[in-house]
Amino acid sequence: SQWGEENLQALSIQEGEDVTMNCSYKTYTTVVHWYRQDSGRGPALIILIRSNEREKRSGRLRATLDTSSQSSSLSITAAQCEDTAVYFCATDAYQGGRALIFGTGTTVSVSP
């Protein structure tokens, strides 16, 4: 498998809290994608971080990438109920870089 064992399956938090999910991978990658999937919809990219970047921010989202430990994290600051979704990481260490391999996803539930 491409993925490490510490990728969490589910997180439950309350509005206003911060949350971080981790993704560790086993094969060198040049890019880590983070996708979000809302119930009943297809995944949508929220952050893409490349191997020459250590951190990337987008609004309340922050992604980090540590190529030495082959791990990435996604943090949501001051979570809102609308952040409830499944979050996937994906790397391009697959099919000669022409395709992504997705992790199993982390379900984040934000309650009022």
Partner 1 sequence: EAAVTQSPRNKVTVTGGNVTLSCRQTNSHNYMYWYRQDTGHGLRLIHYSYGAGNLQIGDVPDGYKATRTTQEDFFLLLELASPSQTSLYFCASSDSGTGGQDTQYFGPGTRLLVL
The strand order across the sheet containing 61-66 reads 19-24, 71-76, 61-66, 55-58
Of the candidate spans 32-40, 52-60, 62-70, 74-82, the one that interacts with partner 1 by CB under 8 A turns out to be 32-40
The strand pairing partners of 73, in sequence order, are 22, 64
Q: How far is the CB of 90 from partner 1 (least distance, A)?
A: 8
Task: Kindly tell me the burial class for residue 55, based on how many C-beta atoms sit within 10 Å of its own C-beta (0-12, 13-18, 19 or more).
Answer: exposed
Q: What is the dihedral of CA 51, 57, 60, 64, to 10 degrees?
A: 30
Tokens 């206003």 identify what position? 16
CA separation for the pair 99, 33 (Å, rounded): 12
CB of 79 or CB of 87, closer to partner 1: 87
CA separation for the pair 73, 24 (Å, rounded): 8
Please work out the total of residues on this chain that contact partner 1, with binding judged by CB under 8 A.
28
- Contact between 68 and partner 1 per CB under 8 A: no
The site string for partner 1 over 1-30 (x = CB under 8 A, - otherwise) reads: -----------------------------x
Of the candidate spans 13-21, 54-62, 65-73, 90-98, the one that interacts with partner 1 by CB under 8 A turns out to be 90-98
Q: How far is the CB of 11 from partner 1 (least distance, A)?
A: 16
Residues making contact with partner 1 (CB under 8 A): 30-31, 33, 35, 40-45, 48, 50, 88, 90-95, 97-105
